[in-house]
Amino acid sequence: MGLFDTLAKQAMGGLLGGAKQADMLSGLMSEAGGLTGLKERFQQAGLGEVFASWVSTGENQPLQPSQLQGALGMDNIEQLAARVGFDVKMLLPLLSQFFPQIIDKLTPNGSIENAHPSADQLQDVLASVMKSGLGSFFGGRS
């Protein structure tokens, strides 16, 4: 594993690994109104079809950092960045890469069955995304 791979894995581990990050993601979801609230935010940002692709059982549409910022709002992104100790310019690309996978794994049956996943559920999802994440981050599929 090269230096860049090692640094990226550490960055993703810092962002996605552990109970603290699950609690932070849970907080972000709670502030948004759970998965249904996030869905509404993405719809209001003109990204309803993109969000729907993550919930469905089909292929996930990609998310650009600017789209994520538009859907969640810069204030929320800055608060999350401060909580995890990341610069916003580093957080947005990482989060935009993994957010579709997180939503996809929280909705395995193609629908929002649990709008407010527990911190334990989020931790399991984050661990799964982290495990498969490097391959998709560097060009493979998860």
* pLDDT for the residue numbered 22: 64
Cβ(36)–Cβ(48) below 8 Å = no
Q: What is the pLDDT of residues 84-97, one digit of tens each?
A: 778 888 888 888 98
Pick from 74, 72, 46: nearest CA to 61: 46
Question: What is the set of domains in the chain, with CATH numbers?
Answer: 3-133 (1.10.10.690)
pLDDT for 2 beyond 60: no
* pLDDT for the residue numbered 100: 93
In this prediction the pTM is 0.77
Q: Which is more confidently placed, 68 or 79?
A: 68
* pLDDT for the residue numbered 19: 54
